[in-house]
A and B are shown apart, each in its own frame.
Chain A
Amino acid sequence: MKITEKEVRYVAGLANLTLTDGEIGKLRTDLDGILEHMDRLNEVDTSGVEPMTQVLFEAGETATLRADVPVAPLGNQAALANAPQPGAGYFKVPKVIER
């Protein structure tokens, strides 16, 4: 067994996901099978191989930077338009301090 129910609950906590007991059982089975398949990577000799973090292509040294000129921002109203609970120009959230 690659992953236990306890580990599934731990990972759900890291991922900020509330899961039902039914979901946890199903995910344990699914992840177990998938992780077992992924263990295949251990067969590959990667000594001396650099990790590929991004697809690279020819570009100038500062090609990723745009010109440093101010552009109009989105604006407060537009930014808040999709907020579930806006208030006084901010995103409102439940209380942060617990206990």
Chain B
Amino acid sequence: MDIPSLTIDRVRQALLAREFSASELAAAALRFAEAENPKTNAYLRLCPERAMAAAQRVDERIARGEDPGALGGVPIAVKDVIVTKGVKTTCGSRLLAEYIPPYDATAVMRIEQAGGVILGKTNCDEFAMGSSNENSAFGPVRNPVALDRVPGGSSGGSAAVVAQGTAVVSLGSDTGGSIRQPASFCGVVGVTPTYGRVSRYGLTAFASSLDHIGPFARSVKDAATVLGVIGGRDPRDSTSAEAPVPDYSAHLTRDVKGLKLGLPVEYLKQLTSETGDLISKGVAQLQALGCEVREIGMPATEYAIACYYIIATAEASSNLARYDGVRYTSRSLASDTLSDMYRNTRGEGFGAECKRRIMLGTYVLSAGYYEAYYLKAQKVRTLIARDFANAFQEVDAIVAPVSPFPAFKLGEKVDDPLAMYLSDIFTITGSLAGIPCMSVPCGNTAEGLPVGMQILTKHFDETTMFRLADAFENVPRKQ
């Protein structure tokens, strides 16, 4: 079996035809992941016992003549900010280096109920804070497409395993672009669903009004299948929505004739020429498929970075307050008093980027600054959401770049936090509005670096987003 070329459909056919069993596939996938992982450091750890047990349950289902499940036997990786019962979950942080969660995230539970086989946990920026995966306490991830470059972040490991072929699909989390940007950098599909579409129960909280769980895959169809499994109301997450989850794959008709697409003029000004050319080519391909493309205005865009980094860091400073040395494995033992213990545990445990964001978030929430920063940012967020609402009066979907540039070299941007923040410009607007958005491969630069195209649609209209992305992905083009 050629593991890197597997799709969900292919696994299903092979299992039903008894070409190989889920257990054989899991064992082979684990061996392959173990052999290939040193190149990228994308997996932080494999969980062979859990994977083999899940595979065996699938084999038993098949033996009983039952359906193997929508993800039956499919090797899956999970970002290490999503908790897995009995399997270490570090969030890329030294603070949680030994943390073994006592429960499963809802998304993890649903994947296993659907027959998915979780192979292991993937590397990421510490507490999902970063755009390059260089903020992991356990070393950076290398981009499988170009090993001297970053895979993007914060879900760099989850993008890399799918690109490298050491998992068929994976789960990541996205707060301001942490799924779409690494998907773009690694040349895979990455989906940030509507806010509320997927339960966050068991997702380690970073910025609660912005956090999402979503899938990575090598095809739009596989990503849609995973979202169909993990989506839907969960009584354990009061922010998960009741909205019914459609059968996305039934809507992948390849017919996008007459779809009205908006191209935000504010975005296009900020691209490197090569990325801009690839996006323009992509737009022309969509026009050739019969889509009507028009330019739209998103005037609040230039304030999005400031807005996002106020709201996200404010929420992070509050969410990360729980890592105080009392409950979560790490404690500074050299402290005589409770308050010293809190301070030293956090000072020793958090990495530089987490400290920066905790400080920024604490500052913008502190007395005298709350209204000038936090409240102001929440009002600007309303204006950004309004830009999208206005645009969707006119168009069915918005097409945009994901990142101003392709994957950069390891170490190239680590010393300039503001420059790193500014590179999130195209992904954070959709995050702030809470709408579904995804990255779909759009071609490669002359150097062979992948560039993703972003597709954004109305709240809960992942169906149109997937239909457009699937049609775009299947445009015949030479690689």
Contact = CB atoms under 8 A, between A and B. Distances in A.
B303 A41 contact: yes
B108 to A, nearest CB: 16
Contacts of A79: 102
Interface string A46-67: 1001111111011110011111
A1 B324 CA distance: 32
A44 B372 CA distance: 12
B382 to A, nearest CB: 4
A91 to B, nearest CB: 5
B209 A64 contact: no
15 contacts: A7-B363, A16-B343, A17-B350, A19-B347, A19-B355, A30-B417, A31-B360, A38-B364, A41-B376, A44-B376, A67-B235, A82-B99, A82-B328, A94-B336, A94-B341
Contact of B379 (A49, A54, A55, A83): A49
Contacts of B196: 55, 57
Given A31-B356, A34-B417, 17 more contacts: A11-B359, A17-B346, A23-B355, A31-B363, A34-B309, A34-B360, A37-B418, A44-B300, A44-B376, A44-B379, A51-B379, A57-B241, A57-B459, A58-B243, A66-B235, A82-B99, A95-B338
Given A38-B306, A57-B243, A59-B241, A15 B359 contact: yes
Interface of B: 98-100, 102-103, 194-196, 209, 235-236, 238-239, 241-243, 300, 302-303, 305-307, 309-310, 317, 321, 324-331, 335-344, 346-348, 350, 352, 355-356, 358-360, 362-364, 366, 373, 375-383, 385, 417-418, 421, 432-434, 459-460
Chain A interface helix/strand/loop/mixed: loop
A16 B363 CA distance: 13
A56 B258 CA distance: 30
A interface, size bucket: 35 or more
Contact of A15 (B243, B307, B358): B358
Interface in A64-99: 64-67, 74, 78-79, 81-85, 91, 93-96, 98
A64 B383 contact: no
B175 to A, nearest CB: 13
Contacts of A81: 100, 102
B34 to A, nearest CB: 27
B338 A50 contact: no
A3 B375 CA distance: 20
A94 B335 contact: yes
A84 B339 contact: no
Given A16-B346, A94-B335, A74 B103 contact: yes
Interface of A: 3, 7-8, 11-12, 14-19, 23, 27, 30-31, 33-35, 37-44, 46, 49-55, 57-60, 63-67, 74, 78-79, 81-85, 91, 93-96, 98
A52 B385 contact: yes
Given A11-B363, A16-B321, A16-B346, A94 B328 contact: no
B185 to A, nearest CB: 24
B383 A44 contact: yes
Given A46-B379, A84-B325, A93-B338, A17 B347 contact: yes
B317 A15 contact: yes
A32 to B, nearest CB: 10
A18 B417 CA distance: 21
Nearest to A99: B337
Contact of B209 (A3, A33, A54, A60): A54
